[in-house]
Chain A
């Protein structure tokens, strides 16, 4: 019984931590580009990133299957090159979590970056600092609260991800059965004890991550 709870927990943490790391890195870069750069097709990039926020997760999942499946644009290429299919692995769960939580990261981070006074960046430029240095040492530190909020939201979203994960990664015991999926399975099969344990664990994990984030915000406040 304990193992039935621990395995989903470890899969969930593995998937959520990894996807949050990816979301943090790509989210910050995309947010910076959206908030500070002008480029062709910016509106399209904005829409594409935001789309998973408004689409039902099953639709997002379906689109991912179309893209990543053996006949999909990316999936077929990957299969030909490596003979390896992404679908129904825990990697696919990471990608699903990444795609659905990215808009939360980008929306919060982009607005935090936009709120940083541009004059500060200009001041850094006149003092000889490149755009990258300025981003790292002026813009991002001043937007850190929004960035952290984005990371926390993304992590929470990744932990709770259900629909898209089910579509692309399935619900394979010991491989892709995350907590959210296992709760559903346990509930369906009448295993109320397991469902209760999983629910409590999930709530505790979520609360812990929130508390940790709040503590960071506190320490970072100047």
Chain B
């Protein structure tokens, strides 16, 4: 059971006259269970193409796609089922509701060959499941964004699909609606027990929603694991950046050990990490902005302990609930981005601060 995907395809788009063609190669493989899977990556990383290949709306050049034991595509044996025979529940980014049909007709459109009474029963079951009772007579143009999304979901789920595919379904919705729908999706996945593949480029959405996160970057799967794994142990620089680790030190040296862990040196600064790096000489590491603690400058706070630095605030961006500060560390050209709760420091551009990072928050990759 579950979904096994392995596909590759090369896309060429003709470049400008005299210029080179753009080549994008998709080379994706992952295996997931009947769980809520988030395909996470920037736009252009191949998330949507992967989803379309699973649905049969696009054909890969080679590979195989198996959903719950049923082969949708296999280049070796020449199997390539039409979307009509895969019948995935597919929620499109722009909802793709039929504008000339009311909500009722949209939802029952996938119930081909059902008799009238059963159709009606299923319609109301779906309306109840998604809390959209009473909307069945309306046309898509008369619905709000959140309602359209629910109708699209109801239409996708009505024929009891083997798999549910959602392409950035909440990108156009406001925060509150988005949070509610997220919960709804979680509940539905648990109830139906089918694999749900959900595309997003929002780290927050990936983290809060997923049982498993598959990280795509430039057409390749870089990491696949629980949200905790992906967010706290990114395997490489690209994943680290995607999950919001913005302070990155590349190709530093492992120079020794300390009571808290290993000592790393890069760009003239020494950091202590809690991660085990025995066996490697050179590593890259990073720190999340929200894991950096800032305090007003006090000479007594400086110590020989690891990860305590003095610095100067270069820039402050107020984000409302917190402030993003750029701090230059003394004796180096290293600038750390720090996300600090608004109430902790007053607006302090140019002021002196102490920077403190826990050894466990220095994430090592590669």
Query: Which residues of chain A have a CB within 8 Å of any CB of chain B?
Result: 117, 119-120, 122-130, 138, 141-142, 222
Give chain B nearest CB distance to A75 CB in angstroms: 43
CA distance A138 to B89 in the complex (A): 18
Which of B57, B84, B100 is within 8 Å of A222, CB to CB? B100
- Known contacts A119-B92, A119-B94; is-contact A126 B83 (Cβ 8 Å): yes
Q: Find out whether the CB atom of B57 lies under 8 angstroms from the CB atom of A125.
A: yes
Contact flags B75-96 to A (C-beta < 8 A → 1, else 0): 0000000111011111010101
Cβ of B169 within 8 Å of any chain A Cβ, yes or no, is no
Residues A141 and B112 in contact, CB atoms below 8 Å apart: no
B151 to A: closest C-beta gap in Å: 12
Closest to A123 in B: B96
Mostly helix, strand, loop or mixed at chain A's interface?
helix
Partner of A125, one of B84, B112, B139, B159: B84
User: Cβ of A142: which chain B residues have Cβ within 8 Å of it?
Assistant: 99-100
Determine if B98 and A120 form an interchain contact, defined as CB atoms under 8 angstroms apart: yes
**Smallest distance from the beta carbon of A6 to chain B beta carbons, Å?**
42
Chain B hits for A117, CB < 8 A? 94, 96
Given contacts A128-B159, A129-B84, contact A119 B96 (CB under 8 A): yes
Do the beta carbons of A126 and B112 come within 8 Å of each other? Answer: no
In the complex, the answer to whether B100 meets A126 with C-beta atoms within 8 Å is no
The answer to whether B92 touches A122 (Cβ under 8 A) is yes
Partner-A contacts on B (CB < 8 A): 55-57, 82-84, 86-90, 92, 94, 96, 98-100, 109-110, 112, 139, 141, 155-156, 159
Task: Please determine whether A123 and B90 come into contact, CB atoms closer than 8 angstroms.
Answer: yes
Report 22 cross-chain contacts, Cβ distance below 8 Å, ordered by A residue.
A117-B96, A119-B94, A122-B90, A123-B90, A123-B92, A123-B96, A123-B155, A124-B109, A125-B83, A125-B84, A126-B56, A126-B83, A126-B88, A127-B87, A127-B109, A127-B155, A128-B84, A129-B84, A129-B109, A141-B100, A142-B100, A222-B139
Report whether A122 and B100 are in contact in the complex, using a CB–CB cutoff of 8 Å: no
**Beta-carbon contact of B87 and A126 below 8 Å:** yes
A130 to chain B: closest residue by CB: B84
- Which of A123, A125, A142 has the most chain B CB atoms closer than 10 A to its own CB? A123
Distance in Å: Cβ of A132 to nearest Cβ of chain B: 11
Determine how close the nearest CB of chain A comes to the CB of B82; give it in whole angstroms. Answer: 7
Q: Is the CB of B100 within 8 A of A127?
A: no
**What does DSSP make chain B's interface, helix, strand, loop or mixed?**
loop
B110 to chain A: which residues have CB within 8 Å? 126-128
Q: Are B94 and A126 in contact (CB under 8 A)?
A: no
List of A residues within 8 angstroms of B96 by Cβ:
117, 119-120, 122-123
Give every chain B residue within 8 A of A141 (Cβ-Cβ): 100
* Least CB separation from B140: chain A residue: A222
Docked CA distance A142–B139 (Å): 14
**Bound form: Cα–Cα A124–B96 in Å:** 9
Q: How far is the CA of A129 from the CA of B87 in the complex (A)?
A: 9
- Closest residue of chain A to B161, judged by CB? A126
Beta-carbon contact of A127 and B159 below 8 Å: yes
Chain A residues near B112 (CB-CB < 8 A):
127-129
**Which A residues lie within 8 Å of B99 (CB)?**
120, 142, 222
B95 to chain A, nearest CB (A): 9
- Which residue of A is nearest B58, CB measured? A122
B354 to chain A, nearest CB (A): 54
A126–B86 CB distance below 8 A = yes
A127 to B92: give the CA distance in the assembly, Å: 13
Q: Within 8 Å CB of A130, what residues of B?
A: 84
**B88: chain A residues within 8 A (beta carbon):** 126
Q: In the complex the two chains form, what is the Cα distance from A125 to B86 in whole Å?
A: 9
Contact (A126, B98) CB under 8 Å given A119-B92, A222-B139: no
6 cross-chain pairs, A with B, having the tightest CB-CB distances, nearest first: A127-B110, A125-B83, A119-B96, A123-B96, A126-B90, A119-B92
B57: chain A residues at CB < 8 Å are 122, 125-126
